[in-house]
Structure 1
Amino acid sequence: MIGKLLIANRGEIARRIARTCARLSIPYVAVYSDADRGAPHLEGAADLVRIGPAPAARSYLDGAALIRAARERGADAIHPGVGFLSENADFAAAVEAAGLIFVGPRPDTIAALGDKGRAKALMAEAGVPVVPGSAAASDDVEEVERLIAATGYPALLKPAAGGGGKGMQVVTKPGARAEIASAIRTARSSFGDGRLLVERLIERPRHVEVQVFGDGAGGAVHLFDRECSLQRRHQKVIEEAPASTLPDALRARLAQAAVAGARAVTYRNAGTFEFIVGADGAFYYLEVNTRLQVEHPVTEAITGLDLVEWQLRLASGAPLPLAQEQIHARGHAIECRLYAEDPAAGFRPAPGRVTHLAWPSGARIDSAVEAGSPVPPHYDPMIAKIIVHGDDRRQTLARMRAALAETAVMGVATNLGFLAALAARPEVAAGTAHTRLIDEVLPELLGAAAPGALAAVAGAAVVLDAMPEGSGPASPWQASAAPYGRHALAQGAPLGAMVLEIAGARAAVRVLSARRGAVTVEAETAGMRLTATVEGGRGSGGLLEGMLDGRRWRALVLPDAVEVIIDGARAEVSRRVRGGPDEAEATDWASAEIPGLVVAVAAKAGERVARGDVLAVIEAMKFENPVTAPRDGIVAEIVCRVGEQVEAGQRLVRLAL
């Protein structure tokens, strides 16, 4: 067995690998960037090594520094985790050249399967069905246009060196040069290779993958299949194992194809063969992820196996731990990916600091974020993976809905409400979801709580927060820190009134009655009036929580705001009222909304632009974020350039009338 392991990653996957190391009594080395100093993934490590400054290119992607740290700290193996260098053939080769064990496939296998064109040819030779499309790849916009024309519309652009859906782009008609250029840019920045492969787009397919392990000598087994059809921007959102409503014969053919593909390349260690399945039951090879998958916990849940342990044992030279007939599946498992992102703002990453957390009981939580933890702007914004297991799919889905309802994250925007809405969709319950479902029903998944409900909960939370705990009077007037004074008394508001602000609009809240466990308020905003009794009190993690008309809410009262979560959707209600949006003039500046790297400047001095036109593009947390014109005008000044790192709020382009 490996004597000492360096975990060349961060966040929840580093913590996940560390758990197996601790169980197997394998000491491990944890690495960190300046942004991760003191991060939870460093706990329990035998050695800690600073690997570089915050940007990933100068820390977690610095292969030489990682290898040097392993050798200096006496590690004999490196586990790359997921992302970063996990599918980098050059890094794997350098690890082995340094006399260390790379916990993963051989470098030549990573290189062969990482090149989408070459991998497609290898799978076709092995008899695995492949999607029609180009055999060549290119990073020239005009050449890609020609490949699309030859393939036909709609077409799918895939980074030749990519994986995990990153940088994929759908083209439905000619004249898509901007989309092609963006895909090339994303591929180059993410994988160091801008070449794109063009394939025919299979409409409304399901995404089904098969977990495999190989011994590097021709032996291979599968650990059943997973469904990953619930995707956004080709990134998986909810995964489950096994795939739902899949005919047994088709399930068997998928597993056979994956094992045949693994044997054809003499696969070593863990890998995932991904397929798309058409409505007619035909399936096609998509790609191989030559690493552990983010969604591996659902496979662990149904098999009872530790996939990281399998990786470590195989890397140590041991044979496959079990034969195919010894591997069994039980029940059903579902995983949701919880991200720090703002669904209402196009799922823009939302770095910041998590102030409070509440996790569900009865669920597995894979996370490296704790109360007080920052979510840095430099890396993937995942907060946690929530995993549940049950006897069957119906029970498991019900448990996931309950788990999402019990979860609360304060301090940053998250996709929690989006996940809850998605898990409640009838298509998900019926097992008929496909990879385009989220795009088709997205407006229905982004429903925010009504301003009246937010105002009612926020007002009630202010009152409940000010009430004394324990025995004694329950009147807010007798609290040690009452939210308002007697002067606030107003006609029709026996216990006072307050003015709040929600998304720039004022809301008047009148408190009609208050006692421990329930506050009755009348909230008026945008001409709408709501009278409601808000039930609640102090809950877990210091948060206030309760029910409003059958909907679960949580709140955190701050000096000048109230953070409110209703059915998973988060909003911030200001207690410091400012002028409304109609009282403020539109800004002359287009500014960066989040920190990141400027990857494109579309604005040209002197040109006329309309409100909403893209002026620049910032890459942050693995996504491109457009900076748009705040109003109509003429570009008067451009104060940013491609390759520049900018901060949130930094002015980039000035407009004149």
Structure 2
Amino acid sequence: YSEDPYREFLPQTGQVCELIWPDNGTRIESGITQGTNVGTAFDPMLAKVIVHRDSREAAIAALIAALDQTAILGVTTNLGFVRNLADSFEFTDGEIHTSWLDTRPESVFTPPVCPEEVLAQAAKLLSSNRDKGLPTDGWRLAGPARPQRIRLHAEGEEARWIDVPEAPHPGVFAHTDGVRVWLAHRGQNWLVSGSDGMRRDKHIVEGGPEVLAPMPGLMLLVDVADGQAVEVGDRLGVMEAMKMELSLTAPVAGRVSVRVTEGAQVSMGHLLFEIEVNDD
């Protein structure tokens, strides 16, 4: 599915810049191809990955192997989440039930951190981008050269200095436009770019005075007027995407400024409402 399991399974959009399916006899039922634009007008299901073996244990192992060989780059999906679920001890031991995910088990809901091997693959691809001054060649006057290093930024994380490897890391799929790198490892997608030291992330901050779009979609309803007083929890509006409606509520009390019109198509992170917090 084109959804983010670490942000309440909210729908995601984007263009499939590279598509890789497993070659181990896995059955794939898919409605996408390389270059497909995934929008908000339809159901978020992208594909089914189907395996069959003589035992549950063999089938689980085959499924994990198939997901490790699958990459849908350019769109955030739940592929890595499904892979971790299939590899969790609760699933392999048959301890799950229909409401198991509602318990938010840490084994599958802990947001992953971009692994070193994924950043190393991005460093390898971006290390030739010398015109921006990103890499260092490691030259030193009083000693042997250090390994070439590049400062990289994985989306949602702090920038890190990474040594450029001599060879690509097996099991990491990647696609680059020369500035950004879309990567997949064990089903999980990452977007990595060079960090210039001046970059600041735009985060959707809970409890702040700004209400940003938590997903791309349609602004179905605007329930408040400009300048209206609101209390914490008052509904400000409703967004809709991929058959799902999401109510947006006031995180703080104050007077609201409406920054969106009803019926508008908005991207994730778009400013929808701004609240002037009450001094008292």
Confirm or deny that 1:499 pairs with 2:119: no
Deviations 1:129-149 (A, max 9, x none): xxxxxxxxxxxxxxxxxxxxx
Q: Contact 2:222–2:261 at 8 Å: present in 1 too? A: no
Is residue 123–residue 152 contact of structure 2 (8 Å, CA) maintained in 1?
no
Aligned AA for 2:151? V
Match of 1:558 among 177, 182, 185: 177
Please list the CA deviations of residues 324-377 of structure 1 after superposition, one character each: whole Å capped at 9, or x if unmatched. Answer: xxxxxxxxxxxxxxx111112211111221111111121111112001011121
AA partner of residue 123 (structure 2): V
How far did 1:616 drift? 1.9
**What SS does the aligned partner of 1:389 have?**
coil
Task: Please tell me whether the aligned partners of residues 609 and 635 of structure 1 are also in contact (alpha carbons under 8 angstroms).
Answer: no
For the residue of structure 1 that corresponds to 2:182, the secondary structure is: strand
* Structure 1 position 620 matched with structure 2 position 272: no
How do residues 186-265 of structure 1 correspond to structure 2 at under 5 angstroms? none
Determine which structure has greater relative contact order: mean sequence separation of CA pairs < 8 Å that are 6+ residues apart, divided by chain length: 2
- Counterpart selection for 1:515 from 166, 172, 176: 166
Question: How many matched pairs?
Answer: 267
Q: How much does 1:621 deviate?
A: 0.2
Question: Is the contact between residue 589 and residue 651 of structure 1 (CA under 8 Å) also seen in structure 2?
Answer: yes
Distance 1:485 1:441 in 2: 40
SS of the aligned residue for 1:590 comes to strand
C-alpha displacement of 1:429: 2.1
* Residue 274 (structure 2) pairs with residue 654 (structure 1): yes
Structure 2 stretches lacking a partner, 5+ long: none
Q: Distance in 2 between matches of 1:557 and 1:654?
A: 36
Flag structure 1 segments of 5+ consecutive residues without an equivalent. 1-338, 467-475, 518-535, 537-545, 547-551
Which residue in 1 is equivalent to 2:83? Answer: 420
Cα RMSD of the aligned pairs, angstroms, is: 3.5
Residue 598 (1) aligns with residue 220 (2) = yes
Quick one: distance in 2 between partners of 1:396 and 1:450? Answer: 28
When residues 440 and 410 of structure 1 are mapped into structure 2, their CA distance, relative to the original with a 3 A threshold, is: same
- Per-residue deviation, 1:439: 1.4
Compute the TM-score of the two structures, normalised by the length of structure 1.
0.36
Instruction: Report if the CA contact (8 A) 2:230-2:250 is conserved.
Output: no
Q: Structure 2 vs 1, CA of residues 414 and 504 (structure 1 numbering), >3 Å: closer, same or farther?
A: closer
Q: Tell me the CA shift for residue 382 of structure 1.
A: 1.0
Corresponding position of 1:356: 18
- Tell me the residue number matched to 2:258: 637
Of the three residues 439, 442, 445, the one matched with 2:102 is 439
- CA distances 1:176-210 after superposition (whole Å, capped 9, x unpaired): xxxxxxxxxxxxxxxxxxxxxxxxxxxxxxxxxxx
Q: Deviations over 1:153-182 (max 9, x none)?
A: xxxxxxxxxxxxxxxxxxxxxxxxxxxxxx
The yes-or-no answer on 1:382 pairing with 2:45 is yes
Q: Do the aligned partners of residues 505 and 652 (structure 1) sit closer, same or farther apart at CA in structure 2, a change above 3 Å counting? A: closer
1:342 aligned to 2:4? yes
Distance in 1 (alpha carbons) for counterparts of 2:264 and 2:91: 41
Q: 2 CA distance for matches of 1:629 and 1:498? A: 41
Letter in 1 for 2:223: V
Alpha-carbon separation, structure 2, partners of 1:634 and 1:404: 48
The answer to which of 440-449 and 629-638 deviates more is 629-638
1 CA distance for matches of 2:152 and 2:135?
18
Per the TM alignment, residue 413 of structure 1 is displaced from its structure 2 partner at its CA by 0.1
In the alignment, is the contact (CA less than 8 A) between 2:2 and 2:44 conserved in 1?
yes
Letter in 1 for 2:100: L
Equivalent pair of 2:17/2:175 in contact (CA under 8 Å): no
Identical aligned residues as a percent: 28
Distance 1:655 1:432 in 2: 45
Corresponding residue to 1:457 among 112, 118, 134: 118
Q: Give the secondary-structure state (helix, strand or coil) at the position aligned to 2:22.
A: coil
Q: Is the 8 A contact 1:505 1:580 kept in 2?
A: no
Aligned: 1:399 with 2:62: yes
Partner of 2:194: 575
- The one-letter amino acid of 2:152's match is L
CA 480–652 in structure 1, closer or farther in 2 if over 3 Å, else same = closer
Q: Are the structure 2 counterparts of residues 516 and 631 from structure 1 closer, same or farther at C-alpha, using a change threshold of 3 Å?
A: same
CA-to-partner distance for each residue in 1:491-526, whole Å, 9 max, x for gaps?
697133322223455423242x74235xxxxxxxxx
Partner amino acid, structure 2, of 1:450? V
Shift of 1:624: 1.8
Structure 1 pair 590–494 and aligned structure 2 pair: CA distance change class (3 A) = same
Normalising by the residue count of structure 2, what TM-score does the alignment of the two structures yield? 0.78
Greater share of helix: 1
Q: State the Cα distance separating 1:458 from its structure 2 match.
A: 2.2
Distance 1:490 1:345, change over 3 A: farther
Instruction: Note the C-alpha offset of 1:606.
Output: 2.9
- How many angstroms does 1:385 deviate by? 0.7
Cα distance in 2 between the residues matched to 1:490 and 1:603: 61
Question: Which amino acid in the other structure matches residue 15 of structure 2?
Answer: R
The reply to whether residue 489 of structure 1 matches residue 118 of structure 2 is no
